[in-house]
């Protein structure tokens, strides 16, 4: 394999690893906070939720803005609403 192909393969491997590097939540779904309660709690804290989803790792994730208007991407534990990662 020539060096160009090796470099491309290495970059693709790095990108795949980075994409998979999101938090994983191992909480039984019966213990999860209801989505409506979760969203209401965040909105009371001043968040403006643009997108809400459940990740492949079974965590809650939001895209939106905080109370200061700054863009946020945050992963949460679905049972406790604890912040797991923020970008």
CA gap 76, 48 in Å, rounded: 15
Spell out the CATH class of 24-86.
alpha beta
Q: Would you say the pTM of this structure is higher than 0.85?
A: no
Q: Give the model confidence (pLDDT) of 55-71 as tens digits.
A: 999 999 999 999 999 99
Domain ranges of the chain: 24-86
Taking the C-alpha atoms of residue 9 and residue 6, their distance in angstroms, rounded to an integer, is 5
CA distance 50 to 43: 11
pLDDT digits (tens, 9 = 90+) for 1-12: 555 554 455 545
């Amino acid at each position: 394999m020539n060096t160009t192909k090796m470099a491309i393969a290495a970059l693709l491997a790095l990108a795949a690893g980075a994409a998979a590097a999101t938090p994983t939540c191992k909480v039984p779904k019966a213990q999860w906070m209801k989505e409506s309660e979760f969203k209401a709690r965040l909105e009371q804290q001043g968040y403006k939720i643009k997108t809400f989803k459940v990740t492949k790792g079974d965590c809650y994730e939001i895209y939106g803005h905080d109370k200061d208007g700054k863009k946020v991407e945050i992963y949460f534990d679905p049972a406790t609403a604890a912040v797991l990662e923020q970008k």
